[in-house]
Each structure stands twice: as structure tokens, then as C-alpha cells.
Amino acid sequence: MFSILKPSSEAIRRFLSDQSNQDYSYMAVGGTSGTPPAGFVVDHTRIQLGKGQQVFDEAKNAIKRWEHFQLGWVETSSKDIPIERGQVVGVMARALGIWVLNACRIVSVIDETGDVCRFGFVYGTLPGHVESGEERFQVEWNRSDDTVWYDILAFSRPNHVLTRLGYPIVRRIQKQFAHDSAAAMQLAVKRLSGGTAKWLQPCHQR
């Protein structure tokens, strides 16, 4: 959904109500849990947030508050969307003076304990999204070295004529989102720990 003006609460409500009855716009649902499907561009961004359980707990809370999406030029339709399987999520982005409202559905929730603790979720695109594919957002606490990481894995391809025509711009926007999302998570944990994040080079981009 494209708009010169920021979508109103009522427009968002109608859009998400319609999308809630739609199926995913791609076949490989759950593909981020293994090898992403052929025919999609894969992006992987990973950043170390700090060390220790306190950092991990704060990172989990930031995910639950959708802070990794509150970027100024990107935001969710609500900051109170529950992290639950089947939940429909509206994501708004402003680029080149145009607002774009997209729809996704949470495919699965990640909540693992053990030598490596993980928390996050996977969401997949619905027909009302300019891209087609899936994205996983998770934080990890590796108990062996006490490090805490924020990790984004996505596979996507265009699902709208405008994203096909302007694909080089779309790719820049996707990379900017990953960078800004990681920076938002860094800020969220720094409020608690004062730590410094360490970037790894993005991997699995093709």
C-alpha cells in the first residue's frame, strides 16, 4: 500500500484486517530455519551487543517492544503487537517521500535455553507486501564466552511492479534497514550496560 501521507490508524486497521485472511506470498514458509530457498536474495547481518545475562534480557525486552523497528523512517503499526505465532504485523516505511505499508505474519517464535539461549521471531510476507519472503530476528546469549548477539536473516524478492523497476534502490533500503535495526538494538542495551557493540561483516548476501 503506497501513500503520499502517512496511513491513518483506520486505514492501517482496514488493511491489516484484509491481510489477516490472506495466505503467505511465498512457498518456503519457515525457510529461515534451514537453507533459504533458491531464487531469493539472502541477507545476513550480525552484531555483538555485549556480554552477560543482563544484556541478553534487555535485548529480549527490546525485541518484545519492537525497538528494532522504531527507526524514524520505519515503524510498526503498533509498539504493542504481541510476539505470537499467527499475529499479523503492519510495517510502515517512508522512502523517497512515499509511505509504504506492508503486511507480514509471524511464522514462529524462538525461545530456547541451553548452552546458547535464543529469543526472537520469524515473520513472512503476505500479499500486501512489496517484497516476498521471510525474515528472522533473534538475540543470542552464548554461555561459553558470555557474548550476546543480534542476528537478522532474510530471504526476499520483489512482489510489486515498482520494487522490480526500482530494485537497486530497494536493495539499498533493505541494507539500510538492517544497519539501522542493529543500531537500535545497540542503543537499547547501552541504556542498561553502557557496552559497545562489535560489527561483523554482513554475510550470505547474494
pLDDT for 143-188, tens place per residue? 999 999 999 999 999 999 988 888 899 999 999 999 999 999 999 9
Q: Which residues contact 135 (CB under 8 A, 6 or more apart)?
A: 32, 104, 122, 123, 124, 152, 153, 154, 156
Name residues whose C-beta falls within 8 Å of residue 76's C-beta, 6 or more positions apart in sequence.
66, 69, 70, 89, 90, 91, 92
Q: Categorize the per-residue pLDDT at 193 as very low, low, confident or very high, splitting at 50, 70 and 90.
A: low
Residues 38-74 have pLDDT tens digits of 999 999 999 999 999 999 999 999 999 999 999 999 9
Output the pLDDT for position 3: 87
State the greatest distance between any 2 C-alpha atoms of the chain, in Å, as a whole number: 50
In 3D space, the residue among 62, 63, 67, 91 whose CA is nearest the CA of residue 77 turns out to be 91
C-alpha cell at 108: 514462529
Predicted TM-score of the model (pTM): 0.90
- What is the model's pLDDT at position 206? 37
Report whether pLDDT(197) > 70. no
Produce one character per residue of 107-140: b if its CB has 16 or more CB atoms within 10 Å, e if not. bbebeeeeeebbbbbbbbbbebbbbbbbbbbbbb
Nearest one of 195, 180, 50, 56 to 119, comparing CA atoms:
56
With CA atoms as reference, report the closest residue to 182 among 80, 32, 44.
44
Residue 145: how many other CB atoms lie within 10 Å: 6
- Predicted confidence (pLDDT) per residue in 87-139, tens digit: 999 999 998 889 999 999 999 999 999 999 999 999 999 999 999 999 999 99
Catalogue the E-assigned strands of 35-115: 41-51, 74-76, 88-95, 98-112
Residue 8 is classified by DSSP as: P
Tell which residue, 65, 51, 59, has the closest CA to residue 186: 59
| The predicted structure's pLDDT at residue 182 | 97
**Topology of domain 2-199, CATH:** Alpha-D-Glucose-1,6-Bisphosphate; Chain A, domain 4 (3.30.530)
Q: In sequence order, what are the beta bridge partners of 92?
A: 75, 101
First to last CA, the chain: 27
Cα–Cα nearest to 203, from 129, 152, 128, 130? 152
